[in-house]
């Protein structure tokens, strides 16, 4: 494990760290606050769009299958193969459970499923019982929260001197169970490639079954990076020393994933965790992780504010989407503001091009969804069609745009967030801005690799 000082830490501070978390100074800008952001807000809106698109596609399919020439071979009950139980990672949590109400879950018998009713709530989450002993060793201390896939509890390991652990209890649902098994296998593969635990991915310490639920046991981390920004850098962001340390650790994690051919698929401050001493960061929550070869083309992969342009356009993707997400995350840590707070995918593309210039035509034409956002007028650059809603009439509007050059430069925004004008501060901020520009290249092939980013002057040169 790297010491916090490996990232270019400064003098010891009153909080016991080798670097200061607080940056000092006032608010860094007029953008959307990273501290106040609800990480579930954008996903709910995207869920609704995904469901609407799926419903439209289903309606079109119904029209096609009800045409007279298509009636042969149909049955009164419809084609059961249409409902193949495929996991919709963008559906709301209650819809995922109710999609197949007869499902017993995780392969348990019907009788066991009925017995599970007393242990689970109506959505298949296990009811937390403080003081319960799980797997004969983990004593439940508190309920920490829940997501789409699972609930999480804090416990102590009675077989390891009451060491604190976090236990993810996967929901009682066959599809959730499969997703949990996949996450477990990815973590085990990453840990096999990092036996000395030097690459800053959260450690899976064990797994077991409890009352029909798959349970994954992890080391307990103190808080995520959004909570760190909220506590120590509200409106102003964290110090460059802190960003350097956390950035080093997260790049090591992404380098491990890249070498193992794994895409994380949801890098953001909420999925990056720090130790109790605040000097170590780890990349966690690999519930969306997958092999590069498995990459499904969908415009809703990754939380919207951290979504790379190739995902929105429907291009094949790889580990470079995680570097884009990390660039947006590091900007957030330093400035306290969200870099691309898009209302939807169309607005995301507009904000990206305002900051990074027009997306090349050759990249656009390779995407499955480019025609939703661009028009080919025969010029050197396709026209971007910005979608909006008239604030007075509520009518949908369109505006055609071409971004000859960036109008909201990342470098300028970083310098605006740099308090004071000491030459060393300015130089370090410029290096940081240069790193962000390499992470946030619109063309994926031009994005910096994790190992090369670790050699960037922002990390290598210390003052």
The structure tokens listed for 184 are 């477990």
> Which ranges of 144-283 would DSSP assign to H, the alpha helix?
174-192, 225-232, 240-259
pLDDT band at 36 (very low <50, low <70, confident <90, very high): confident
Going 359 to 344 to 447 to 424, the CA torsion angle's sign is: positive
Between the alpha carbon of residue 424 and those of residues 7, 365, 460, the distances in Å are 17, 44, 15
Strand partners, 170: 150
Half-sphere exposure of 321 (CA within 13 A, CB side): 33
How deeply is 301 buried, as exposed, middle or buried, from its count of CB atoms within 10 A (0-12, 13-18, 19+)?
buried
Binding-site residue positions: 168
Cα angle value 170/165/15 (rounded, 5°): 130
- Which of 20, 459, 417 has the alpha carbon at shortest distance from 228? 20
Domain with CATH 1.10.510.10 in the chain: 222-460
pLDDT in tens, 114-147: 455 589 998 999 999 999 999 999 999 999 998 8
pLDDT band at 310 (very low <50, low <70, confident <90, very high): very high
State yes or no: pLDDT of 431 exceeds 80: yes
- Beta-strand ranges (E) seen in 71-160 are 133-134, 138-146, 150-157
Q: Which residues contact 32 (CB under 8 A, 6 or more apart)?
A: 337, 338, 341
Q: Which CATH architecture has domain 222-460?
A: Orthogonal Bundle (1.10)
- 204-210 and 262-263 strand pairing: unpaired
% of the chain with per-residue pLDDT over 70: 76
Give the length of the chain: 463
pLDDT of residue 157: 98
- Which of 223, 219, 310 has the alpha carbon at shortest distance from 265? 310
State yes or no: pLDDT of 278 exceeds 90: yes
pLDDT in tens, 196-220: 999 999 999 999 999 999 999 999 9
pLDDT of residue 228: 97
Q: What is the pTM of this model?
A: 0.80
The set of catalytic residues is 266
d(CA 186, CA 292): 12
Average of pLDDT values for 40-61? Answer: 56
State yes or no: pLDDT of 248 exceeds 80: yes
What is the per-residue burial (b if ≥16 Cβ within 10 Å, else e) of 37-56?
beeeebbeebbeebeeeeee
Strand partners, 11: none
Binding-site residue positions for ATP: 168
Average of pLDDT values for 374-380? Answer: 85
Mean pLDDT of the chain: 83
Q: Which CATH architecture has domain 133-219?
A: 2-Layer Sandwich (3.30)
pLDDT of residue 92: 35
pLDDT of residue 107: 37
d(CA 134, CA 214): 12
User: In the sheet that 163-170 helps form, which strands lie side by side, from edge to edge?
Assistant: 133-134, 138-146, 150-157, 163-170, 213-219, 204-210
| Contact in structure between 87 and 173 (CB atoms under 8 Å) | no
Tell me the DSSP string of 323-371: HHHHHHHHHHHHHSB-S---SSHHHHHHHHHHHH-PPPHHHHTT-SSGG
Domain with CATH 3.30.200.20 in the chain: 133-219
């Amino acid at each position: 494990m790297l010491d916090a000082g490996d990232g270019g830490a400064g003098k010891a501070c009153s909080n016991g760290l080798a670097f200061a978390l607080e940056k000092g100074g006032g608010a860094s800008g007029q953008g959307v606050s990273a501290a106040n952001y609800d990480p579930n807000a954008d996903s709910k809106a995207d869920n609704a769009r995904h469901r609407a698109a799926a419903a439209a596609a289903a309606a079109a399919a119904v029209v096609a299958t009800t045409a007279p020439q298509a009636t042969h071979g149909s049955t009164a009950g419809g084609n059961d193969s249409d409902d193949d139980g495929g996991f919709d990672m963008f559906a709301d949590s209650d819809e995922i459970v109710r999609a197949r109400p007869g499902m017993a879950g995780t392969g348990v018998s019907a009788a066991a499923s009925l017995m599970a009713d007393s242990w689970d709530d109506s959505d298949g989450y296990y009811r937390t019982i403080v003081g319960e002993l799980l797997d004969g060793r983990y004593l439940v201390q508190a309920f920490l929260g829940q997501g789409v896939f699972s609930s999480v509890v804090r416990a102590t390991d009675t077989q390891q001197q009451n060491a604190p652990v976090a236990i993810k209890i996967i929901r009682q649902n066959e599809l959730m169970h499969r997703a949990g098994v996949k996450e477990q296998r990815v973590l085990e593969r990453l840990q096999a490639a990092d036996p000395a635990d030097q690459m800053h991915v959260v450690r899976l310490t064990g797994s077991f079954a409890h009352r029909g639920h798959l349970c994954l046991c992890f080391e307990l981390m103190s808080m995520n990076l959004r909570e760190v920004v909220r506590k120590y850098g509200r409106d102003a962001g964290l110090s460059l020393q802190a960003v350097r340390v956390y950035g080093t650790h997260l790049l090591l994690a992404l380098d491990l994933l890249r070498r193992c051919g794994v895409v994380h698929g949801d890098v953001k401050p909420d999925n990056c965790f720090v130790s109790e001493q605040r000097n170590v960061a780890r990349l966690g929550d690999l519930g969306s992780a997958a092999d590069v070869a498995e990459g499904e083309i969908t415009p809703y992969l990754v939380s919207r504010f951290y979504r790379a342009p190739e995902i929105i356009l429907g291009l094949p993707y790889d580990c470079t989407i995680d570097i884009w997400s990390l660039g947006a995350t590091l900007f957030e840590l330093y400035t306290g503001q969200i870099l691309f707070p898009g209302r939807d995918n169309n607005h995301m593309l507009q904000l990206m091009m305002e900051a990074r210039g027009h997306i090349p035509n050759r990249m656009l034409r390779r995407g499955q969804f480019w025609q939703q956002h661009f028009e080919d007028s025969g010029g050197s650059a396709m026209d971007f069609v910005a979608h909006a809603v008239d604030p007075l009439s509520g009518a949908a509007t369109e505006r055609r745009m071409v971004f000859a050059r960036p109008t909201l430069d990342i470098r300028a925004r970083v310098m605006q967030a740099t308090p004071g004008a000491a030459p060393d501060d300015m130089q370090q901020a410029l290096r940081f801005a240069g790193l962000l520009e390499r992470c946030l290249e619109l063309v994926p092939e031009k994005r910096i690799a994790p190992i090369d980013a670790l050699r960037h002057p922002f990390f290598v040169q210390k003052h």
